[in-house]
Each structure stands twice: as structure tokens, then as C-alpha cells.
Amino acid sequence: MKKNKLIFVLLLLCSITVVSSVGTFFYVKLNNNHTAAEDDILVMTSCNPVYIATLNVLDGVDGYRVENLSQPTTGCLHDYTLTTEDMKKLSKADMLIVNGGGMEGYLEDVMEAYPNLQIVDTYEDIEHSNGFIGMDTYLIKEEEKEHDHEEEKESLPLEGKVAAELTDEVSNEVSDEHEHHHDHGANSHIWMDDRLFKCQVTSIANALMEPNRNREETPISKNFLEYSNKLENEIDKQGLDKTLAGSNVAILHEAFAYTAQSLGANVVATMDLDEERQVSAGEVSEFLDAIRDNNVAIVFAEYDYGKSMGDLIEEQTDAKVVYLETLVHGSYDASSYITVQNSNFSKIRDIL
Ligand SMILES: [Zn+2]
Ligand SMILES: [Zn+2]
């Protein structure tokens, strides 16, 4: 018994020694890596779509580090403000790649705080046809009418729990703090149309290749070509660009205006629901009317904010509601753009 105990203690000591030397080894290794990484070009990205694009463009390329700023856990990016941790990272960054078009409401503050930080604005590049002549026609401008939130509060033709909930909230918050969404009069969720996402990838690759004006093959240009081909070949619309072409759809999140556009469908009714968005009963009944009047068969929605309205739509009209991903929340890897788009298309196909 005693002997056993001694052996046990010895073993324990041995393992402690092993553990601590392994620990030291890793510590040294990590430290070395860290020093090496200090010289890397730190590329920060503002949101998942440009993060995914940048990961693909810089895949395996030496000398770069890609980091995404923190992402909102609820709501959309345009309502988001940066954490102090984000600002700290930006102070060390060499480049910030943004979606643009008003999506990053904090952008001006960042530019003011770090005037030397190189900013790549993918929306701007498309808008000003920097290399993609004609693609700016795919940029969707906001409809003015979306902000007539206050009208017709008295008419409450809807009954049931959902309608009551929706109307209860109307009076409290009105649209002034909502205005910043649409500062540029643009719908900036451009990545949802794969053709525009390809332009974003191009814009990012162009910015990163800037020092190489001769356009000889480089690891970045090779990645760019590979990823562009991948997007071309692996995004599978499953025939929806034929099935839905010319048909009428409604959307419960403005991101899906680009999904509809990429399939050739017409958006006949938009209700942009997000966490701060309050909807009046008048607006709800107008929306339901638009669905009925235009024979809308399918409504694109985001689950978190669209579910109760979605239930109401399915209860009161013949339209079916499909819940899609916008890529705004959560963490993604390099392959996510293609898998998320394809799963969105599968969901649409399955509900038709
Ligand atoms: Zn949004
Ligand atoms: Zn709005």
C-alpha cells in the first residue's frame, strides 16, 4: 500500500514535470509566432460577408492576418456600435475592409480616430464602377415610403394576438432613431446578390494587390481567380432563377431584396423588420393587401424578427413564408458564403 502510494506520488511528480515542460515549450512557440505576427499586415473586416471574401483572397498568403470586428448578436449591422476592444484592434490595423453603403454607421468615427487607416469600401467601388462597369445598376435604392410609420394608427382592422402585440408597441418609439439606417438612401445588403458579392471579392482583391500593378500571378491573384470560379460554379440556385423569374415576392427584411433580385423576382411589398422596428396595424394590413393583390406566393423573412409577422401572413393570406439567413450574425469560415446561399436556395425550393 505504502509503496503504491509512493509510486503514485512519483508518477504525479513526473507528469507535473512533463506537463510543465510541454507548457513551457508551447509558451515559447506561441511567443515566437506572436513576434512573427507583429510584422504581418493586419487586415480588419467590418462584417461577415467581407470577412469571408477576405479570408478566401488571402488564404495561405504569407504576411497577412485577417480579423473580423465583433458582430452584433441581434439586429442588423447598421445599428451596431464598436466595442473598445474593436477600437483597440483598429489602432493596430493596416487596413479596414468594409461593406459600405451606410452599413457601418461607425465608419466616420473610425476615420476620424484613425485618419491614416486605409479603408476599402466595396459598395463605393461598385457604385463608382471601379472595375465593374454597369454593376451599379444592381444597387437597390431605398423606397421613401418605408418611413411613413405614423399614418393611419386608428384603423385597426386586424384581430388576434399578433396584431395586438404589433399595435401595442407603435406609440412608444417613432422613426427618428430609425432614420440612420437609410442615410445614403441605399439598401446596403449587397452581398445577398451573388453577382454583387463577386464584385466585393474583386474590390477586395484589387485593394490587396495594389502594390502589384503589373498583374503578374501572385498568391493573391491566384486565390482571387480560384474563389471567383468557385462562386461561379458552386452557388446553386437550383433552377429558382427560372422558376421565380418575373414572379412577385414580398420580403420582411431588406437584405432579401437582393436575394429576390438575384433570382429575377419582383419585390412587391417590403416590411423591414428588425429589433428597433415598430409596425403599425395600418402598415400590417397594407402589407397583407399587397400580398393578396399581387398574388405573392412566397415571402422571404428572417426568423428572429420575422416570425410573428410570418405567422400572421400564413394565417391571413395564401403566401408561404420561408426563413433565410442574412449572414449578419454568428461566426463563419471561408466556405460559409457558398453554403449559406445554397441552403437559402434549398429552403426556397422546398417551400415552393
Ligand atoms: Zn440590415
Ligand atoms: Zn427602415
pLDDT at 21: 41
Residue 142 confidence (pLDDT): 74
Q: What's the pLDDT at 75?
A: 77
| 8 Å CB contact between 45 and 117 | no
Q: What is the pLDDT of residue 158?
A: 45
Query: How far is 348 from 345, CA to CA, in rounded Å?
Result: 5
Looking at all shown ligands, the one closest to residue 105's CA atom is 1
Q: If we measure between CA atoms, which residue out of 349, 347, 346, 297 comes closest to residue 318?
A: 297
Compute, in angstroms, the gap from residue 254 CA to the centroid of ligand 1.
7
Q: Measured in angstroms, how far is the CA atom of residue 17 from the centroid of ligand 1?
A: 54
* Residues around the ion ligand 2 (C-beta < 5 A): 181, 272
C-alpha 1/C-alpha 158 separation (Å) is: 81
Integer CA distances (angstroms), 190 to 15, 211, 231, 243, 262, in order: 55, 27, 15, 22, 10
Residues 6+ positions from 188 with CB-CB distance below 8 Å: 78, 99, 100, 101, 102, 103, 123
Cell of 283: 402598415
Annotated domain spans of the chain: 41-136+186-232, 236-350
Q: How far is the CA of 182 from the centre of ligand 2 (A)?
A: 7
Nearest ligand atom owner, CA of 258: 1
SS3 letters across 144-208: HHHHCCCCCCCCCCCCCHHHHHHHHHHCCCCHHHHHHHHCCCEECCHHHCHHHHHHHHHHHHHHH
CA 76 / ligand 1 centre spacing (Å): 4
Give the Cα separation of 104 and 84 in Å (integer). Answer: 16
Q: Which ligand is nearest to the CA of 329?
A: 1
Residues in the chain: 352
pLDDT for 25 equals 39
Categorise residue 202: left if φ over 0, alpha if ψ from -120 to 50, beta otherwise: alpha
Divide the 352 residues of the chain into consecutive groups of 10 and give the mean pLDDT of each group. 48 42 40 57 96 98 95 81 93 96 93 96 92 88 52 42 46 41 73 98 90 77 96 98 97 96 97 81 96 98 93 97 93 95 98 93
Q: What is the CATH number of domain 41-136+186-232?
A: 3.40.50.1980
CATH class of 236-350: alpha beta
CA of 173 to the centre of ligand 1 (A): 19
**Residue 334: all three cell numbers together:** 471561408
Terminus-to-terminus CA distance in the chain, angstroms?
Answer: 73
Residue 30, SS3 per DSSP = helix
What gap in Å lies between CA 254 and CA 2, rounded to an integer? Answer: 74
The answer to whether 205 touches 220, Cβ cutoff 8 Å, is yes
**pLDDT for the residue numbered 212:** 64
Q: Give residue 143's pLDDT.
A: 58
Ligand number with the minimum distance to the CA of 182: 2
